[in-house]
Amino acid sequence: MRVGFAVFPGFQMMSLAAGSVFEFANICSGEAIYELATVSEQGGLVRSSTGMDVATRPLAGEAFDTLLVGGGVGVPCPSEGLTAWIATCLPAVRRLGGICTGAFVLAEAGQLDGRRATTHWLVAHELRSRFPAVRVEEDRIFIVDGPVWTSAGMTAGVDLALAMVEKDLGREIAQSVARKLVMYHRRAGGQTQHSELLELAPRSDRVQSALNFARRNLQAELSVEQLAEAAALSPRQFSRVFRAETGQSPAKAVEQLRVEAARLMLEQTRHPVEIVARETGFADPERMRRAFLRAFGQPPQVLRRAARSAA
């Protein structure tokens, strides 16, 4: 299966990281299932946003099973030639994908009209505004709508590629690839782009260790004393350092982690709300409902129905 990566001047190098997924799929399967090629409108050297040049083949005459269009640091402005070629590549290719802001190239070519799509959350509003025919869902890692795949920010392109490998070769190969790439796991397409650990962004390893401990032990009570012990600080010192680094109390941070975990369980499993509340440390559904209202302005059941409807 030939996988093409279409680039343009100023493309972001991280777009090509998804190529490693297909490379290691060949290694894990023991045979050359995927053949990779980098293409551009004219071929030759194409300069990335980092200033590094990448050798490419011209689009004309190339045939692919899967074509992925990379993104740029900002919203890309594809050439007329590239746009025209993307506009006609379906159904000649089995899968067409846009990584990060590569979704704008697909939208410009009309390939996202009437389809669900995602992109980097920073520019999702612009995608929606410029292309009203596209059903933009900015809070998704990747979205598959028929033969068209789109992903969120750059690293999400790796998740998208892993999902393609899983679709082609099965879960076992995909998991083996993820392990070799030192990925914890492939994020599900419906998973939110945002992570509470990223939002908290502690500066010190000690506070980070306490947050990691909390995330691994959400079912526990998670008192300040427990978190302070994980951080190797006294409770008083821990509370002071934690607030200074994250801007909030340990209790509020733990609630955010529980809300994030509960939302993922609601979106990705069929567990009853009672079990989700217990597994994520809320103890009872009412406490979880109040936390969801504070975080999202909606109760858990509404978010679950929205996720199922999207699926």
Whether residues 126 and 215 share a domain: the answer is no
Domain contains 306: yes
Q: What confidence score (pLDDT) does residue 201 get?
A: 63
Whether residues 129 and 28 share a domain: the answer is yes
Burial class (CB in 10 A: 0-12, 13-18, 19+), 147: middle
Number of domains in the chain: 2
Residue that finishes a domain, picked among 154, 180, 206: 180
Instruction: Find the mean pLDDT for residues 12-27.
Output: 95
- Fill in the amino acid letter for 309: S
Tell me the longest C-alpha to C-alpha distance in the chain: 68
Q: Above 60 in pLDDT, residue 91?
A: yes
Domain contains 188: no
Whether residues 31 and 168 share a domain: the answer is yes
140: CATH: 3.40.50.880
Whether residues 170 and 201 share a domain: the answer is no
Q: Above 70 in pLDDT, residue 309?
A: no
Q: Which of 122, 284, 244, 251 is nearest to 194 (CA)?
A: 122
The whole-model pTM stands at 0.65
Residue that finishes a domain, picked among 180, 204, 226: 180
Encode pLDDT of 219-233 as tens digits.
898 999 999 999 999
From CA 164, how far away is CA 162, in angstroms rounded?
Answer: 5
Instruction: Find the mean pLDDT for residues 45-52.
Output: 94
Whether residues 149 and 203 share a domain: the answer is no
Whether residues 164 and 240 share a domain: the answer is no
Instruction: Find the mean pLDDT for residues 291-297.
Output: 85
From CA 82, how far away is CA 140, in angstroms rounded?
Answer: 26
Domain contains 189: no
Whether residues 172 and 224 share a domain: the answer is no
Task: Tell me the average pLDDT of the chain.
Answer: 89
233: CATH: 1.10.10.60
Domain contains 186: no
- Beta strands, E only, the chain: 2-6, 35-40, 44-47, 53-58, 66-69, 95-98, 116-117, 135-136, 142-145, 148-151
Q: Above 60 in pLDDT, residue 311?
A: no
Encode pLDDT of 77-90 as tens digits.
888 999 999 999 99
Q: Which of 83, 136, 84 is nearest to 112 (CA)?
A: 136
Domain contains 33: yes
Whether residues 106 and 65 share a domain: the answer is yes
Encode pLDDT of 98-156 as tens digits.
999 999 999 999 999 999 999 998 888 899 999 999 999 877 889 999 999 999 887 88
Q: Above 60 in pLDDT, residue 302?
A: yes
Whether residues 230 and 163 share a domain: the answer is no
- Percent pLDDT > 70 in the chain is 93
Whether residues 10 and 92 share a domain: the answer is yes
Domain contains 99: yes
Whether residues 141 and 30 share a domain: the answer is yes
List the domain range (segments joined by +) for residue 127: 2-180
Domain contains 104: yes
Encode pLDDT of 169-217 as tens digits.
998 999 899 889 887 555 554 445 555 555 566 678 888 889 889 988 9
Domain contains 69: yes
Whether residues 142 and 19 share a domain: the answer is yes
Instruction: Find the mean pLDDT for residues 159-163.
Output: 93
